[in-house]
Amino acid sequence: MKKLLPLLALGCMSLGAQAQVTSGLAARYEFTFGSLLDKTGNTTATNTGATLTTDRFGRDNCAYYFDGSSYIVVPHTAAIDLDQMTAYSVAFWAKPDVVSTSGLAAMVCKWNGVTNEQYGVWQSNAGVTVGTRTVNAVGLTTGNVLQTSTWIHVVCTFDISTGSLKVYADGVEVYSATLGTSINACTATTSLCFGAQYNDSNGTSPSPNRPFQGALDDISIYNRALTPSEVSTLYNAAEPLCQNFSALLLSSTPSSGSDGALSFVPNSGFAPYSYTVNGGSSVNLQSTIVCGSATEGSFLTMNAPSNQTFTSVNFASYGNPQGSCGSYYYTQCDAVNSMNVAEDSLLGKNSATIDANNMVFGDPCFGTGKHMDVQASTSEQANLSGLAAGNYSIVLTDSLGCQAALIVNIGSNVGVEEINKHELHVFPNPANEYIQLYSEAEMQNISIFSIDGKLIQSINNTNSTNTISISELNSGVYFVQVVYQDGSVSTQRFLKN
């Protein structure tokens, strides 16, 4: 009689990492490798003079430095408009050069003189000044919380319905006040600005003032007031470069004695990779970094080593990227779909060619010669065999020190001499509205995961031919994972157009 124990499907997660808070997120600028893209996809910022610097994790080209005359501007949109909100939060990291200012130094603000104010956070010596356009809006300043050349996490929250304003420094509430519960109507548009107060209105010429001197990073705007626990989550969040790193379980077979097996690959991260099993010695995966460059109108062909596939695209820019392999960074001439095109072309493959032209990417800077630079990680598939029934904890580490855990339970098949590894086919691939799964074995569960390891959909009690609707998925790369009735697992990538 066959005895089956269920397989514990993967626990893909970054170790010790807390996810970024995304509910109510209106804009986020992480500045990774100089990127000025809003992570929500709403807008792209414009840089005037700010220079790249190291972030709080010591990563080069992942934060911006403002010298007292530079600033970064985000155009006005409804998503960040106070008149469209019932509450808001502003969160960011700052490292001031000095704690003695002549007046206010604007760090993050959407403010224009005295008639078109929205919200803002300024430095005032060693204190943080906040302003919001309520009936009794004035500059309200905390005690001394800033230190010279020291990174500090600042969060300002305001709930218009209650008038409650709070300021947090490094996850701890340092100031609170009750303001008016109404805001003065304002139909004028005002740009959001980092490093200065921009002072524009309805597209008029700006007059930047109140400059900040120091570094800023990971700036987020929310359309609601964050809770204290969410503020703590942001303060303790992992480095953005680690947040999507995971280990992807490809297959697993139960054990009859000591013949169980499992296989996995890194998902995202920076090669080279290594892993441990149940706290044992570290094992190096055959993995490497591959870089490529192509001028506008030519083709970029990238090849992984013969036994490896592309596991992550670390950098991709069609436009005018700068730097060299291992130290690329974005400029303002950057096609917004560069990363998506590179990931769709490379991930899961041994070799791919990208057409570097305006027909694919659009023209990010008309009249300027462009090129495409890509840096990608590759890895072999890790195959573990001769496994007895039980739990296996795999910790995967990349070259940045990011870690991800994969927890797998190898079930016991008593009385079964051989377990087949079932072949899974996904068609069509790429797909638009649906995918069909074909396998000779009976399927117990089907799960769809996003590229960063998040579970999107799970279906139980299925048969050997299945049609899965994917019409509501965003375009991108996904994984479909099947757990069969005999406890084995198969995983395949697919592309949603």
User: How far, in Å, CA of 231 to CA of 169, rounded?
Assistant: 9
Residue 17 has what pLDDT? 40
C-beta of residue 379 within 8 angstroms of C-beta of residue 265 = yes
pLDDT given for residue 72 in this prediction: 98
205 vs 65, 68, 200, 259, 496, CA distance in Å? 24, 20, 6, 72, 43
Instruction: Note the pTM of the prediction, 2 decimals.
Output: 0.82
* Residues 170, 155: Cα–Cα separation, whole Å: 8
Q: CA-CA distance, 320 to 330, in Å (whole number)? A: 8
DSSP bridge pairs for 451: none
Closest CA to 238 of 404, 79, 374, 98: 404
**Dihedral angle of Cα 59, 33, 309, 380, to the nearest 10 degrees:** 0
Residue with tokens 């994972």: 481
Residue type at 343 in one-letter notation: E
Q: 21-54 in b/e burial notation, b at 16+ Cβ within 10 A?
A: beebbbbbbbbbbbbbbbbbebbbbebbebebbe
pLDDT at 460: 82
Write down the pLDDT at residue 336: 92
Among 250, 239, 263, CA closest to 14 = 239
Starting at the earlier edge strand, list the strands of the sheet with 309-319.
Answer: 287-295, 371-379, 309-319
pLDDT computed for residue 237 by the predictor: 87
Other C-beta atoms lying within 10 Å of the C-beta of residue 1: 5
Residue ranges and CATH numbers for the domains of the chain are 25-225 (2.60.120.200), 287-379 (2.60.120.740), 420-497 (2.60.40.1930)
As a whole number of Å, the end-to-end CA separation of the chain is: 45
pLDDT at residue 453, rounded to an integer: 66
Per-residue pLDDT of the chain (497 residues; tens, 9 = 90+): 222 223 333 334 444 344 578 899 999 999 999 999 999 988 899 999 999 999 999 999 999 999 999 999 999 999 999 888 889 999 999 999 999 988 999 999 998 876 667 899 999 999 999 988 765 556 799 999 999 999 999 999 999 889 899 999 999 999 999 887 777 666 678 899 999 999 988 778 899 999 999 999 999 999 999 999 999 999 998 788 888 888 888 888 888 889 999 999 999 999 999 999 998 999 999 999 999 999 999 999 999 999 999 999 999 999 999 999 999 999 999 999 999 999 999 999 999 999 999 999 999 999 999 999 999 999 999 999 999 998 898 999 999 999 988 888 888 765 433 344 577 888 888 888 888 888 878 888 888 887 666 778 888 866 666 888 898 888 777 888 888 887 777 888 788 87
Give the separation between CA 356 and CA 462, rounded to whole angstroms. 42
Q: Which pLDDT does position 417 carry in this prediction?
A: 38
User: Cα–Cα distance between 288 and 298 in angstroms, integer?
Assistant: 25
Calpha distance 49→210 (Å, rounded): 16
Parallel/antiparallel/unpaired status of strands 403-410 and 13-14: antiparallel
In this structure, which amino acid lies at residue 54?
T
